[in-house]
Amino acid sequence: MDPFDSNNAERANLPRNMIENSMFEEEPDVVDLAKDSTAFPTFPALDPDEVAYEPRSSRLLVRGLGENELDDEEEDCESSARLLGMSFMNRSSAHRANSSPYTRQPPPRSCSRPSVRTMVVCVLFLVIVASMTMVLYFLPGCTFTKTGCRKPNTTTPIEPVYPISTNGELFPWTKLRLPVSIQPLNYDLNLNPDLKTMTFTGHTVITMLVLHNTKRIVLHSADLNITKSTLKLDDNTSIDVTVLEYKPRQQIAVKFTEELKAGQHCVLTLDYSANLSHNYDGFYNSSYTDKSGTKSVLAATQFEPLAARKAFPCFDEPAFKASFLVKITREHGYIALSNMPKAKTTTLLNGLQLDEFEKSSVNMSTYLVAFVIANFTFVSRNVSNTVVSVYSVPEKKEHTLYALDTASKLLKFYNTFFDINYPLSKLDLVAIPDFLAGAMENWGLITFRETSLLVDKKSSPLEKQLVASVIAHELAHQWFGNLVTMRWWNDLWLNEGFATYMQYMSLQREFPQLDIGNLFLGVRFRAMAKDALNSSHAVSAQVDTPEQVAEMFDSVSYEKGASILLMLNASLPGEQFRKGIIEYLNKFNGSNTVTDDLWNSLTQAEVSPQHQSVAEMMSTWTLQKGFPLVTVSRKGDEVTLTQEHFLLTADNTTQSSSSLWHIPVTYVNDSCSLAPECRQMFTLKSKSGTLKLAGSVKWLKLNYKNTGFYIVHYGDEGWADLIDGLKGDVNVLTSEDRASLIQNIFALSRLGRVSFRHVLNLMKYVSNETETAPLTEALLQLGTIYRMLDNRQEQILAARMKVYILKHFGDLMDSQKWEEEGNVSKQELRSALLQMACNLGKSECIHQAKALFKQYIDSNRTKLIPGDLQRVVFTVAARSEDDWLTLLERYTYITYDAEKRTILQALASTQNIRRIVWILRAGLEGYHIQTQELPLVISAVSDGFAGHLFAWDFVQENWDHLIKKFPVGSFAIQSIIKSTTSQFSTQARLEQVHGFFSSLKERGSQMRSVQEAVETIRLNLQWMNRNLATLQECL
């Protein structure tokens, strides 16, 4: 999935205490030994093979704001308390209300102020418990493994706490993850959506294989009203079943008296009805209005990660792959699409059409199932035995050709690159008018936002770059994700990191004119900014709850994932990377994997005699958060490199970290620095290492072309040598290397390792810079500081920063042409320079922007504004009262979405407070502005001086509305938090943000993005305290 336009993720509205309960139940030491047996009547014992009693750790999985984790002492006390019967499971919310998520949570009452006596009791109890555990563990024939204890020790009263079903009976399953006793083999799905009443009925037949003897089948179902259920066995006998539902975990359990035996087949049939969803997940309804004002309705799906269960009862975890046979009824005038080609259509007695699709030729995870019912039209083409089609609303048919060309070319590329042909006979790409994510890779039926797929004839190369990127990403998923799927969401990066890497790699090879390299470089820089925070997480991280699953769809899974794959590919010889990938895809074709499976395939594909364990190297990048800082010190021809964790922290006490990485350090020097052959490599595995240079050099530059995921500090002399080199001739280094120096020095300044004076020293060379990558990086970094100063109302310093920027970039800004430009890289640079120029009020820029807008209006929009200049032109126009209204009018009737969104960003950039308030409200209400655009509106509002104050107020006042529209943890919510708080840099703001999120409790306080927001403000504040004096002196 490509979520970066907005949010993507579904989640369950689990009450916070339920989430914690379920996490506790994952671990053996939290089973409530002392539960009241009368309150919980005995339920038939669980199948032993389904009880995951693994005594692997007693660590409690309470994840939240950084300091929220329990330290050892608290953890021990908490375990003891639990064993003493002081269950946490019924902790009242009142108790919880007192605990700020930002400070260390007090341990449970019994241990909150441990007296010596309590401590002794705790310790004694631990000893007893440890002894009991040891005894039980070593009992002959009774092991605490997945297979459980076959003859339960009757003296050990370990019984799980069962939740209560909706009908009051005990629900026979205690975990978030499903039991593994049943394997679904095939689903027959019959769906009957009614687009008038916005409801649907369904008839689902699941054929299953019993893997372990069991008396119940547990699967997922959310918001479905199940009306009938039957279970048939191999011999065609039906047995009576009861369906129990436990809503907080979106699970149902089919219960029966006879035991199903391993090896047996059975068929479960469920009839149900439900409403089409009004949000953007599950089976949802949507509508659009065409140019003539006619409204059309449609229904579409978005199942990743956890919403297939909202359309049909299913085993909704990626490892439960099965085949699917889909049948959908529809009215005349509509088409129905699903993953597979249509097999036949029949007319029913009620006049409806029944479309039956071919049974899927591949086994799929449930999150990849999809269907669309709409009145769309399409264009199509046969490409290597696959019919590729692009669907859109009828009036946008001519906007689909670019996508058809691009998808066709990329399909051929991937067929060859992966050496496995795309396995289905058709591939549909569908533009959905109302779609929250950027796109979704459903097998054979990829759904997109209109802006991610449709391209106008007059679209700029930058817009084409975006569309090609998203198509390349989703197509790569057809292999990485669909053919081979991660076993669980903790390894989401195997899907997303890979698809992100392939999107850049394939475009670099197949569409060099799109110049995707700068974009990928910027992506790596931004991934580092997030991963440098304490709130970051390992690429492969433990996830349990729906919120945690949602939060995995972030920059670490996508962008850091892609960055470390680039680093690996760059460090492996020849074709080893590709060979390893092909081996991996072949070996695991149709099944599920964990991260190590990928590394093992890559190691086995070794092409050089020099053994290098990919797993050994890459586990240092996937199992720990963050990345290294490499410090260089050179004495003659001897260079010492040392590594440490590049951890941005405003708290000096947590600075130490023992993390080490296997870093493939690359370097070039002044005698040979540009060509790939100049690059030398040294693997730094320990804290420090020494390398010998062949001769004397003037300077060294590490991390050639910034393909490595690390930051380099050259020391005062090393930096001075590099700056001297650049002042003499900027072309002594590649543009990626220059951009990397700029990004590195700003990062070092944020870390407190160099003073801002050093940053400004490097910036002196920028007057001679002409390339896009280093210039856009410098503008972005300086622009961020300018905005922070402006927002802090450090007006004198902000004014001086403005003068500084204009002095260094003014000539380049003035030299930009305001006409059509065909080169993508020049467009990127021009758009960054002019946006900064007009933002800073540069009169020439404003004059040109106004003139272009006037031409556009006077020509009745026939004289179009070049795509990359639209943002700056519309933003300047939106400052005038009349032109803002003109833009608003244009916004309401324009159908071309890329321009529509640019106009919306401009409207939201207004400094007029009444209009800011109006536009935020309109986005929330969803009438004038689609709710899918609210994160974009909030981000654009926050960029302005007046807007940033209101945006934050708006988020606080409307938090409950926001999390109804966009689930807690989703990408949209992550984006809203970041855009409204990341520019704050004062103590007062820190306290306000801290206080607000603390008060949310289960309504969002536990999100990683909240911790990130608080950390970021602390770091901004710290940076300002350190550097204000320098800024005053130097600017």
Q: Which of 816, 730, 811, 742 is nearest to 775 (CA)?
A: 742
Quote the least distance from Cβ 474 to Zn ion, whole Å.
7
Residue 88 or 413: the one with the smaller Cβ distance to Zn ion is 413
Residue 422 has phi, psi (to 5 degrees) of -50, 125
* Rounded Cα gap, residues 624 and 619, in angstroms: 8
DSSP 3-state of 568 = helix
Residue 58 to residues 25, 27, 28, 960, Cα–Cα distance (Å):
12, 7, 8, 35
Of 367 and 699, nearer to Zn ion (C-beta) is 367
Q: How far is the CB of 336 from Zn ion (least distance, A)?
A: 25
Nearer of residues 315 and 553 to Zn ion, judged by Cβ: 553
Separation CA 1027–CA 1021 (nearest Å): 10
Q: Which is nearer to Zn ion, 339 or 673 (CB)?
A: 339
Q: To the nearest 5 percent, what fractions of the chain are helix, strand and coil? A: 45, 20, 35
Q: 466 vs 499, which CB is nearer to Zn ion?
A: 499
Through-space distance between the first and last CA atoms of the chain, rounded to whole angstroms = 44
Judged by CB, which is closer to Zn ion: 317, or 441?
Answer: 441
Q: What is the DSSP letter of 842?
A: -
Q: Which is it for strands 342-347 and 353-357: parallel, antiparallel or unpaired? A: antiparallel
Per-residue H/E/C for 750-813: HHCCCCHHHHHHHHHHHHHCCCHHHHHHHHHHHHHHHHHHHHCCCHHHHHHHHHHHHHHHHHHH
| Other C-beta atoms lying within 10 Å of the C-beta of residue 609 | 5
Among 999, 447, 522, CA closest to 774: 522
Residues sharing a CB contact under 8 Å with residue 400, sequence separation 6 or more, in sequence order: 378, 379, 390, 391, 392, 431, 453, 454
Say whether 3 sits in a helix, a strand or coil.
Answer: coil
d(CA 723, CA 950): 42
> Cβ 471 to Zn ion, closest distance in Å?
12
CB 677 within 8 A of CB 666: no
CB atoms within 10 A of CB 657: 15
Report the C-alpha gap between 1009 and 7 in whole angstroms: 14
CB 97, min distance to Zn ion, A: 39
Closest separation in Å from C-beta 479 to Zn ion: 12
Q: Which is nearer to Zn ion, 22 or 557 (CB)?
A: 557
In the complex, least distance from residue 786 CB atom to Zn ion, rounded to whole angstroms: 34
- Supply 717's token pair: 């002399």
β-bridge pairing 426-432 and 445-449? parallel
Active-site annotation holder among 74, 474, 510, 821: 474
Beta bridge partners of 164: 170
Catalytic residue list contains 899: no
Count Cα atoms within 13 angstroms, Cβ side, for 1020: 24
Nearer to Zn ion, 482 or 983 (CB): 482
**Is the four-CA dihedral 432, 438, 440, 445 of positive or negative sign?**
positive
Output DSSP code: residue 34. T
Shortest separation between residue 886's beta carbon and Zn ion, angstroms: 38
Query: By the criterion CB under 5 A, which residues form the site for Zn ion?
Result: 1, 496, 499
Residue (364 or 647) nearer to Zn ion, CB: 364
Instruction: Output the smallest distance, CB 303 to Zn ion, in A.
Output: 13
Min. distance of Cβ 301 from Zn ion in angstroms? 16
Active-site positions read 474
